[in-house]
Amino acid sequence: MRALLGALLLLGACGARAEAYPWHPIRYIVASAPGGIADLTARVLGPSLARALGQPVVVENRTSGGVAVGGEAVAKAPPDGHTLLSVTPQLAISPLMQRKFPFEPRRDLALIALVGIIPNVLAVSSRTPAASLQELIELARRNPGKLNYSSTGQGTSVQLTAELFKNAAKVDIVHVPFHGSAAAINALVAGNVDMMVESALPLLPHIRAGRVRALAVATAQRLPQLPGVPTFIESGFPGFEVNGWTGLATTAGTPPEVVARLEAETRSALAGAEAGALLEKAGVTVHFMAAREFSAFFGAEMERFALAIRQSGARIE
């Protein structure tokens, strides 16, 4: 009886604590350097959340160790909603690429909301004789192992998206990794590689100038910026939607009322013209998903990337 009474009192205290949330400043951890999409998401949402919640939201960049270190700090924080994590596809990929990853995202984190999608585009060099996705596939099948593609590095979401395309199209195209987006795009523009998959924003100037040709977008609908470029789905690949994305999470075990509050305030922030405009300018298409839907989406992303890693033989550290 005493144990039961103690448990009830503890639950009551937790409930009262959740109702008082937040009771001190909130840390918003970004597991990368300033300037990227994860950082932008935190800096766009942070002020809106601070105003709505009545507490400062402090963005904290952890540039060493990537999502393994930054994510672990959130996974091991008190489960009270005062520590947030800016999440991208690397949260779904890194645990699959590292044997000793320090936490399990689906167990140790509570996903709050998806904020937006970063559309991917498959583009080819102006020197590559393919004017459509089907022509590229036919060219690759006639020349197995002779075409190549650049990426921003081994195990990145764009590299694994290219591998998923290769498997779906049943073609052999060689991966050439670079350090970062600029180097990978420069190789494509120079004609040193035949194709690449990359987010739309950095490719747009080169597409519009005719230096590279966009053959397909990986979104469900065509992009307003590239209305003449078909989707992978239109090009004969049903269900092929593999894009970048950004969202936020907190520590697993955080009271459901707190997660619901953060979810609601994120939705409200994204409905504002200022937040939407800042994200769209950075190439993020605002696309809100509530916690439950985002969790299902995240699980599907992990399964999809696990398949791409197995198919490509990407190195596991």
* pLDDT tens digits, one per residue of 27-67: 999 999 998 999 999 999 999 999 999 999 999 999 888 89
Contact 299, 106 (CB under 8 A): yes
What gap in Å lies between CA 243 and CA 247, rounded to an integer?
13
pLDDT at residue 4, rounded to an integer:
44
- In the DSSP assignment, the letter for residue 247 is E
Measured in degrees and rounded to the nearest 5, phi and psi for residue 6 equal -60, -40
What gap in Å lies between CA 175 and CA 166, rounded to an integer?
11
Is the alpha carbon torsion for 273, 279, 282, 283 positive or negative? Answer: negative
CATH fold match for the domains 2-117+244-312 and 120-217:
yes
What gap in Å lies between CA 269 and CA 286, rounded to an integer?
11
Cα dist from 300 to 134, 179, 253, whole Å: 27, 28, 22
Q: From 1.20.810.10, 3.40.190.10, 3.30.1370.160, 3.40.50.720, which CATH number describes the 120-217 domain?
A: 3.40.190.10
User: Across the chain, which distance is largest between two alpha carbons, in Å?
Assistant: 79
Q: From 3.40.190.150, 3.40.50.2000, 1.10.10.10, 1.10.3720.10, which CATH number describes the 2-117+244-312 domain?
A: 3.40.190.150
Q: Tell me, what amino acid is at 97?
A: M
Residues of the chain short of pLDDT 50, as ranges, are: 2-13
What gap in Å lies between CA 282 and CA 145, rounded to an integer?
35
User: What is the helix (H) or strand (E) element at residue 308, kind and residue range?
Assistant: helix 291-312
- What are the domain boundaries of the chain? 2-117+244-312, 120-217
Q: Are strands 57-61 and 26-30 parallel, antiparallel or unpaired?
A: parallel
Give Cα 316 distance to the centre of its chain: 20
Place of tokens 């190439």: 283
pTM: 0.91
* pLDDT tens digits, one per residue of 81-104: 999 999 999 999 999 998 899 999
